[in-house]
Amino acid sequence: MTKKAIHFFLSLFMASVASVANAQNGKLTHEDSLNAVLEKYYQLNLKVFQANSQPEDIDNIFDLFTADFEYIHPHYGGTYTRQDLYEGYQRNQKNGGYDGSVTDIKILNKIVGLNAIAVSKSFVTAKEGEVTIGEAQMTMFEFRNGKISRIYEYW
């Protein structure tokens, strides 16, 4: 084996040891912290989508957002401020738009970058006993100071 190959494999080994050591010490990596916020976001949304959700369930989602949060969905009207989106959640909840038909949000794939996660997901719905897995949808999450600063929908 050449010296370059030995150095490469030694570096790779040391990086994996450091990663395992961090996990064993209970330290979250940057990627872990972004994933934790993302998982919480989807868990809280699933709760809101249920027929018995409460206004405080919506508030819990918005606790994950920065003050200047933006939601961008070109197919459904463009750019929404934090307040616009909050009012939309409230309106849907009051009008019965959250009826429990969404039973899960299936994460198909994720790419975690520096302060961003690209997600491919599908909504799982159940109506009249029939479970349907929806089409894959792409969403980009951007983070700042441990909170979601922007969501850009690509579907």
38, burial (CB in 10 Å: exposed 0-12, middle 13-18, buried 19+): buried
> What is the spatial distance between Cα 138 and Cα 154, in angstroms, rounded to a whole number?
5
Instruction: Using a cut of 0.85, tell me whether the model's pTM lies above it.
Output: no
pLDDT in tens, 18-76: 444 444 556 779 999 999 999 999 999 999 999 999 999 999 999 999 999 999 999 98
pLDDT mean across residues, the chain? 88
Question: What angle do helix axes 30-48 and 55-62 make, rounded to 10 degrees?
Answer: 160
Nearest CA-CA partner of 119 in 144, 149, 154, 82: 154
141, burial (CB in 10 Å: exposed 0-12, middle 13-18, buried 19+): buried
